[in-house]
Structure formats: structure tokens, C-alpha cells
């Protein structure tokens, strides 16, 4: 099939993870989802949406429970750009080389701990929106192996043209 035909049909080509961390992280994630009871969540692996020219893998775990937190991210060389919930995004620079929350843990141990915290649920995401409804900031705190992983970015309020808008989402367990 020619490139123009592929784009017009909406087919998203498979990513090309580099051997090593990129491929290993995707394999770990596949095992995590496979360990869940059947029908609990769906795993989608593709190239980065909207950027078919980029070869890095994008993953998205979509829970069957609409009140459970989505788990998605991009894996690039040794880095992990992870989004937990609607918009709470954190880039783990050098994740494959020890850029973890729990000091001294391997990236596999840390990734599993984050995954378990997400599927356990019980955490709240705060999304701060501007007057047009666009997310301008977020804050989420997960307990990862007894330590708090705080994911925070952006502005917490915008009061230029009215009241601040904060959406609070408390996530339920996957199972």
C-alpha cells in the first residue's frame, strides 16, 4: 500500500522500538496488562498520535472501568514520558539509567511500582483550566512503594477573566 493510501485510511503503523530499553519497557507493559483479569483493560501500542514520522513507541492502557486512570506514555531511548489519568504528565529523564523515584531501584521495579499504584486507584488528579476550558496545570500524588510521586506542572489558577476552574478526579481501582 502506498504512503498516501495508508494516511487516508487512518492506519497507524507499528512503532519501531529500539532494542534495549524501548523494546523491554513495551514487553514489561504487555506482561502487566496480560496479568490483569480478562476484560479489565485494553493495551494499544502505536506511533505517537499525530506524528507518524516519529518511530518511537506510544502506549496507552485504557481501563474498562471509566473511573479508573488511563496509563499512557512515550518511550524514547532511555527516557519515559508518562501520563497518568487525564493530563498529569511527567518526563522521567534517564529512567533506564536510574532516573527513578525510589533510589537504588531498577527501572523495571520502579515501573511495576508505578503501575501497581495506578491500578490500585484511590488517588486524585487536580486539573486547573483556563477560561476557555484548556488544561493549564495539573497535580497528582501517587504513593509508590511508601514514597510520594508528585506529578505537577503548569499554573494552578487563572483569574484574569473570571473564577478559577479546578476539576478533581478521584480514580478507582482497575479491578
Query: What DSSP string runs through 23-69?
Result: HHHHHHHHHHHHHSPTTSEEEEEEEPTT-TT--SEEEEEEESSTTBP
Kind of pairing, strands 124-129 and 165-170? antiparallel
d(CA 103, CA 17): 27
Residues 166 and 128: beta-carbon distance below 8 Å: yes
Per residue in 134-143, pLDDT tens?
888 889 998 8
The separation between CA 138 and the C-alpha centre of its own chain, rounded to angstroms, equals: 14
Grid cell in block for residue 71 = 496509563
Q: CA 92, 95, 98, 101 torsion: positive or negative? A: positive
Instruction: Using alpha carbons, select from 19, 67, 71 the residue that is nearest to residue 45.
Output: 71
The structure's pTM equals 0.83
- Render pLDDT for 120-161 as a digit per residue (tens, 0 to 9): 999 999 998 887 788 888 899 988 878 888 888 876 555 555
What pairs with residue 59 in β-bridges? 45, 73
Sequence ranges of the domains in the chain: 3-170
- Alpha-carbon distance 160 to 157, whole Å? 9
Paired sense of beta strands 88-92 and 79-84, if any: antiparallel
In tens, the pLDDT along 60-107 reads 999 999 999 999 999 999 999 999 999 999 898 989 988 777 778 899
Amino acid at each position: 500500500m502506498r504512503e498516501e493510501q495508508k494516511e487516508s485510511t487512518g492506519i497507524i503503523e507499528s512503532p519501531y522500538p529500539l532494542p534495549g530499553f524501548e523494546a523491554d519497557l513495551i514487553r514489561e507493559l504487555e506482561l502487566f496488562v496480560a496479568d490483569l483479569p480478562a476484560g479489565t483493560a485494553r493495551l494499544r501500542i502505536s506511533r505517537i498520535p499525530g506524528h507518524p514520522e516519529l518511530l518511537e513507541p506510544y502506549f496507552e492502557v485504557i481501563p474498562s472501568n471509566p473511573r479508573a486512570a488511563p496509563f499512557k506514555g512515550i518511550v524514547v531511548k532511555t527516557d519515559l514520558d508518562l501520563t497518568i489519568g487525564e493530563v498529569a504528565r511527567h518526563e522521567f529523564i534517564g529512567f533506564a539509567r536510574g532516573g527513578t523515584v525510589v533510589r537504588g531501584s531498577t527501572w523495571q521495579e520502579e515501573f511495576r511500582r508505578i503501575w501497581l499504584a495506578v491500578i490500585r486507584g484511590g488517588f486524585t488528579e487536580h486539573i486547573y483550566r483556563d477560561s476557555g476550558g484548556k488544561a493549564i496545570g495539573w497535580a497528582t500524588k501517587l504513593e509508590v512503594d511508601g514514597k510520594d510521586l508528585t506529578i505537577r506542572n503548569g499554573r494552578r489558577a487563572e483569574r484574569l477573566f473570571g473564577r478559577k476552574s479546578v476539576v478533581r478526579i478521584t480514580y478507582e481501582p482497575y479491578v
